[in-house]
Amino acid sequence: MVHVAAEAGVTRACLSQWKNRYDTYGEAGLRDRRASHTPLDGRLASGFALKVADS
Every domain of the chain and the residues it spans: 2-54
pLDDT at 12 over 60: yes
Looking at the predicted structure, is the pLDDT value of residue 33 above 80? Answer: no
Q: What is the pTM of this model?
A: 0.54
> 24 pLDDT exceeds 90?
yes
Average pLDDT, rounded, for the chain = 76
Burial bucket for residue 42 (CB in 10 Å: 0-12, 13-18, 19+)? exposed
- What is the rounded average pLDDT of the residues 34-44? 57
CA–CA separation, 23 vs 55, rounded Å?
11
